[in-house]
Amino acid sequence: MSKEITTREADYSQWYNDLVIKGELADHSSVRGCMVIKPYGYALWENMRDQLDKMFKATGHVNAYFPLFVPKSLFEAEEKNAEGFAKECAVVTHYRLKNDPNNKGKLIVDPEAKLEEELVIRPTSEAIIWNTYKGWIQSYRDLPLLINQWANVVRWEMRTRLFLRTAEFLWQEGHTAHATKEEAIEETTKMLDVYAEFVEHYMAVPVIKGVKTPNERFAGAEDTYCIEALMQDGKALQAGTSHFLGQNFAKAFDVQFLNKENKKEFVWATSWGVSTRLIGALIMAHSDDQGLIMPPRIAPLQVVIVPIYKGEESKPIIDDKVALLTRDLKALGISVKYDNSENARPGWKFAEYELKGVPVRVAMGLRDIENNVVELARRDTKEKSTVSFEGLALHILQLLEEIQQQIFNKALAFRNENIREANTWDEFVEILDAKAGFVSAHWDGTSETEDKIKEQTKATIRCIPLDNKQENGKCILTGNPSTQRVLFARAY
RNA sequence: CGGGAUGUAGCGUAGCCCGGUUAUCGCGCCUGGUUUGGGACCAGGAGGUCGCAAGUUCGAAUCUUGCCAUCCCGACCA
């Protein structure tokens, strides 16, 4: 029983790590801050990626691929962006190794092979992409340009955590160019909606759509929109961002187009991204002390069938019956695995698939076959039921849908219970310390106040919700007048 | 990068303070058999540069120094 996992209560961080590693999503690698995404974890990412990709294409985007390396001179062109990422850039300075004359069998960097210009490994691709767009855009007829890329990026983080913050991570980044400000803003919010739809509908994680304060804004953006999710320990997690970049990058890279009046204008830009971090959100939003809980719509495996053999002669009987079910499930587009491996007994398999979060488990033995039933177990509630073999595949299809809903509803209820209003500083601090979650409070709108609150409580303004109601109040810290509440939380 | 902890077989560990035969135990793994409705049992077997590198010593898992990695708490961040 080396697979026991730490409980959330005992050590939330350890619980999270146990799920990632023992659930076989990912592992630490021998590269500092970088993880190996294992087949089960990668299958999850593929499902997420495929769904997002469909949604991007449905909204008119196409995929392309830009280089991993960004020449330093391009990288520094948009000053705010460069400054924001400068501290966490890996930089390639040489292009060759050679044998170490003083140490046989070892290699050293060849000092003769220094690059004329250093190459920054992209922490994000605005620079290289806008440098490219300059050559692609001349006329208003070239706009809008709606491009996405699936890529890896590197951010040299001080402290890393599996999926939540790794030095290298996988993501997608959309980079669009528009003729008007209005159209660019519309694109920004449209993609935010796509993200919210994906995260809620497929990952079953409820999110709050909002806009960031200047302090939390993406370096080089005019406005950063975000979706914020709440984890079971009461900490918030930024699940995706969509930036309105104004004309900052167009000006930095001199990307202009001729409008219908034959006048030159700078184009308007957006960028938006979600990453493998979403997997961290998925884990922390749903899972329990028995392991992962995968939402059926993106689960790497939706159904597992475990045979309960009784003697050698029972095997072909059960195998044959299972084959019928497997065929029916596949016909409905349900992913299914028949685990008839002999090296583990049923109890072990039950525990294993619970750890991995497979939504539905089917157990079938001779006893069931005699009664023309199976035992169904759902991962989210751990309820078991005995169900007729007739119409079973359809029944499972419905059950998967029900589980998807149930997981979302549970996470939504938790999230909603954990948004609390604070009207005094004491109340604010007490909620953060005793209950965590989101705290909805008035803020005077200044960066100074935001900084002070962060300093004193570690809480940041996660966002100003898009559907915020306007109400007069007094800033929680300074008592200065405020026109709306904003959402504070401690965050990942 | 600052503070704290850890690193012994695939995993979890004993031994380290006080250096001394062949490095302990459990799980897992392999072979054979019996099994299978919630993490099976019996018998036999394989598996170790004690994180890496130097140093002290007749002798280092154990002492010293440096490095690497991981975890926790800060700063930074998607």
State the pLDDT at residue A198.
Answer: 98
The token duo for A214 is: 């200047």
- Determine the Cα–Cα distance for residues A361 and A340; give it in Å rounded to an integer: 13
Is strand B within 7 Å of residue A166 (CB)? yes
Bases of chain B within 7 A of a CB of the protein: 1-2, 10-12, 26-30, 35-40, 68-78
Q: Which of A354, A273, A342 has its CA nearest to residue A307? A: A342
| Chain A 5-24 contacts with nucleic strand B (CB below 7 A) | 13-14, 16-17
Instruction: Choose the CATH number for A419-489 among 3.40.980.10, 3.30.110.30, 3.90.76.10, 3.30.70.100.
Output: 3.30.110.30
State the pLDDT at residue A3.
Answer: 64
pLDDT in tens, chain A (492 residues): 346 788 888 888 888 888 998 899 998 887 888 888 999 999 999 999 999 999 999 999 999 999 999 999 999 999 999 998 988 898 899 898 888 777 767 778 888 999 999 999 999 999 999 999 999 999 999 999 999 999 999 998 888 889 998 889 999 999 999 999 999 999 999 999 999 999 999 999 999 999 999 989 999 999 999 999 999 999 999 999 999 999 999 999 999 999 999 999 999 999 999 999 999 999 999 999 999 999 999 999 999 999 999 999 999 999 999 999 999 999 999 999 999 998 899 999 999 999 999 999 999 999 999 999 999 999 999 999 999 999 999 999 999 999 999 999 999 999 999 999 999 999 999 999 888 899 999 999 999 999 899 988 889 999 999 999 999 999 999 999 999 999 999 998
How are beta strands A481-489 and A460-465 bridged, if at all? Answer: antiparallel
Is strand B within 7 Å of residue A238 (CB)? yes
Across all strands, nucleotide nearest A352 (CA–C1'): B39
State the pLDDT at residue A2.
Answer: 41
For chain A, which residues make up each domain, given as ranges? 12-286, 303-402, 419-489
* Domain covering A303-402 assigned CATH 3.40.50.800 in the classification: yes
| Same fold: A303-402 with A419-489 | no
The token duo for A125 is: 């691709």
Is strand B within 7 Å of residue A452 (CB)? no
- The whole-number Å distance from A279's CA to B25's C1' is 37
For A24: left if phi > 0, alpha if psi spans -120 to 50, otherwise beta; the answer is left
**At a CB cut-off of 8 Å and minimum separation 6, what does A170 contact?**
A37, A45, A150, A151, A152, A275, A276
Instruction: Choose the CATH number for A12-286 among 3.10.20.600, 3.30.390.50, 3.30.930.10, 3.30.1390.10.
Output: 3.30.930.10
How are beta strands A236-246 and A268-275 bridged, if at all? Answer: antiparallel
- The whole-number Å distance from A121's CA to B61's C1' is 41
Across all strands, nucleotide nearest A3 (CA–C1'): B11
- Determine the Cα–Cα distance for residues A95 and A110; give it in Å rounded to an integer: 8
| Chain A 184-203 contacts with nucleic strand B (CB below 7 A) | none
* Rg, C-alpha atoms of chain A: 26
- The whole-number Å distance from A1's CA to B15's C1' is 24
ipTM field: 0.88
Is strand B within 7 Å of residue A88 (CB)? yes
| Chain A 284-313 contacts with nucleic strand B (CB below 7 A) | 290, 308-311
- The whole-number Å distance from A135's CA to B43's C1' is 75
Which residues share a beta bridge with A119? A71, A92
- The whole-number Å distance from A347's CA to B46's C1' is 27
State the pLDDT at residue A98.
Answer: 86
| Chain A 94-153 contacts with nucleic strand B (CB below 7 A) | none
The token duo for A48 is: 């997420």
Q: Which of A486, A403, A491, A400 has its CA nearest to residue A214? A: A486
Across all strands, nucleotide nearest A314 (CA–C1'): B36
Is strand B within 7 Å of residue A235 (CB)? no
Across all strands, nucleotide nearest A21 (CA–C1'): B11
